[in-house]
Structure 1
Amino acid sequence: MSLFEIVPFNCRLRIYRRQASSTMRFRPCIDIHAGEVKQIVGSTLTDAEGVGPVTNFVASQSAGDFARMYKKDGLVGGHVIMLGASEANTNAALDTLQSYPGGLQVGGGINADNCQFFVEKGASHVIVTSYVFRDGQIDFERLEKLKQLIGKEHLVLDLSCRKKVEDNKFYVMTDRWQKFTTTSIDEALFHRLAEYCDEFLVHAVDVEGKRCGIQQELVELLAKWSPLPVTYAGGASSLDDLDFVERIGSGKVDLSIGSALDIFGGDIRYEDVVAWDKKRGEN
């Protein structure tokens, strides 16, 4: 049986939903900046005028090209992130959804005004962070509104975080990872938020885009605390990291790899990752 269930949406679109299991999967990604597919060091994103992010890679292929490749290779549950609000980013994201309807999640500037639009255009889920935080705290009224608009089965909550040295806890980051919230992650938080969403996505902001190694402590906490499917992203540098996350995450934490893949200018062969995932999908 596949770990991803195909379910109908509005009787016209088939979407992929991750089933709870102890078999880890690889999750692909498409990061869009200024309408192009890029790999960026996430912690360098800023609103400061004239200051651009540190860019690891800019693809010559379109976002839709990557989506079609993921579809062809049977990779499901990947995330498309729009880095910044622009018409170019929106159009590129829509290209991915048209190319792989029901197979990708979309995030970046998602709110109550546009969440239905992206689901109707083919996103299996929308990914939300900043919209559900206000003054550093979770706004449960906004969460409930999203749940009512699209249903928890179409919502992924992004709890990307950084560790504070003051208390050794991981805190959720918002606004393109520029701002610390006052919300630290713990088991109670995951269980409460599980009432509103279908999955969690967690970027380890301190190591994301740097290919400097998996943040082991965070993966172990996600495996221990999350009652829902959860994807970790950040720091992967070799094919062995898939086996490493599978082991320390007890098979409960999926892994996304970006900058380290050869399709994004890195050293890990994309074909090897596809083969690794295919074996897990056959279990």
Structure 2
Amino acid sequence: MSFPEDKMLIIPAVDIKNGKCVQLVQGKPGTEQIIIENPAKVAKSWEDKNASTIHVIDLDGAFGEKKNIDVVKKILDTVSVPIQMGGGIRSKEYAKKLLDIGIERLILGTMAIENPLLVQELSDEYGKERLMVSLDSKDSKVVIKGWTEKTSKTAPEMGQILEDNGAGGILFTNVDVEGLLNGFYVEPVLELVNAVKIPVVYSGGITTLDDLKKLQNTGVNGVVVGSAIYKGNINFEKALQYEKLP
């Protein structure tokens, strides 16, 4: 599924930890706040509010712990809109398993950065539209392994490498502002969008409807919203008005 050219998709996040829907502050274990017991129920609630895509992250998988594939299957059985998913995808076999059970767009992080050729192999088999790479930036450098290890590359540098190796899109998260509800920095987003030709989805620090308005002018193809819609800072139905580009 490719991104529409005339829209900036507003994509609600469903983050899973220990089988529950949670939110973390800057991705740090121990900061999670449980939103509701049933992630599938949460995902369905966003679909009912006209979300066109759901963003699912397996936080346990991201931190190298057990994976929540049974919970993911329940989400797939419950909603009819496309699911984009990441977290703990560290092998080609597991990536294929998720694509085969119906994940529309797979988000590859550590594995893609450590071995870009695997992205090309999966892209050749499933089509690049189903493969997105996650570039998480902290102090202007890409971080991996659940944001615990810093690389030597910036997001634009890594984005160009992965675009050349079959990635069909980029999920860009600014860890410096993630989960803090203090807004976001426009410049890093623009630098990445201008460096690559594939779609970019932004995540991190989205706090107000004004933040969404600012993003409309950056060229991103989508924005993931999490804490702000769960805590009531942003009304999701009102946020959808910013899907249409000015």
TM over 0.5: yes
> Whole-Å Cα distance in 2 between the matches of residues 102 and 257 of structure 1?
17
Within-5 A mapping of 1:40-79: 40-45=24-29, 53-55=30-32, 57-79=33-55
> Whole-Å Cα distance in 1 between the matches of residues 60 and 10 of structure 2?
25
Q: Normalising by structure 2, what TM-score?
A: 0.87
Q: Which residue of 2 aligns with 1:99?
A: 78
Count of aligned residue pairs for this structure pair: 241
State which of 268, 274, 282 in structure 1 corresponds to 2:240: 274
Q: What percent identity do the matched residue pairs reach?
A: 24
Q: Deviations over 1:85-144 (max 9, x none)?
A: 35572222222122235611111111301112112222101111111233xxxx233223
Q: Helix, strand or coil for the counterpart of 1:84? A: helix
Pairwise CA distance, 1:149: 4.2
> Whole-Å Cα distance in 2 between the matches of residues 237 and 75 of structure 1?
18
- Residue 17 of structure 1 contacts residue 77 of structure 1 at CA under 8 Å; is this kept in 2? no
Q: Which residue of 2 aligns with 1:83?
A: 59
Q: Which residue of 2 aligns with 1:5?
A: none
The letter for the 1-side match of 2:19 is: G
> Whole-Å Cα distance in 2 between the matches of residues 133 and 244 of structure 1?
29
Unaligned 5+ runs, structure 1: 1-15, 46-52, 164-169
State which of 249, 253, 256 in structure 1 corresponds to 2:224: 256
Task: Determine which structure has the larger helix proportion and give its number.
Answer: 2
> Whole-Å Cα distance in 1 between the matches of residues 228 and 202 of structure 2?
15
State which of 129, 132, 150 in structure 2 corresponds to 1:156: 132
State which of 142, 145, 155 in structure 2 corresponds to 1:175: 145
Pairwise CA distance, 1:192: 3.7
The letter for the 2-side match of 1:89 is: N
Q: Normalising by structure 1, what TM-score?
A: 0.77
State which of 87, 99, 124 in structure 2 corresponds to 1:108: 87
- Residue 43 of structure 1 contacts residue 178 of structure 1 at CA under 8 Å; is this kept in 2? no
The 1:155–1:120 alpha-carbon spacing in structure 2 relative to 1, beyond 3 Å, is same
Pairwise CA distance, 1:24: 2.1
Pairwise CA distance, 1:23: 3.4
Question: For the pair shown, which has the larger CA radius of gyration, 1 or 2?
Answer: 1
Q: Deviations over 1:212-264 (max 9, x none)?
A: 111221122133223111111111111111101113x0x43422111111xx2
Q: Deviations over 1:152-190 (max 9, x none)?
A: 221110011112xxxxxx21110100110122222x543
> Whole-Å Cα distance in 2 between the matches of residues 99 and 218 of structure 1?
36
Q: Helix, strand or coil for the counterpart of 2:153? A: strand
- Residue 120 of structure 2 contacts residue 167 of structure 2 at CA under 8 Å; is this kept in 1? no
State which of 227, 230, 239 in structure 1 corresponds to 2:209: 239
Q: Helix, strand or coil for the counterpart of 1:69? A: helix
Give the CA RMSD over aligned residues.
2.3
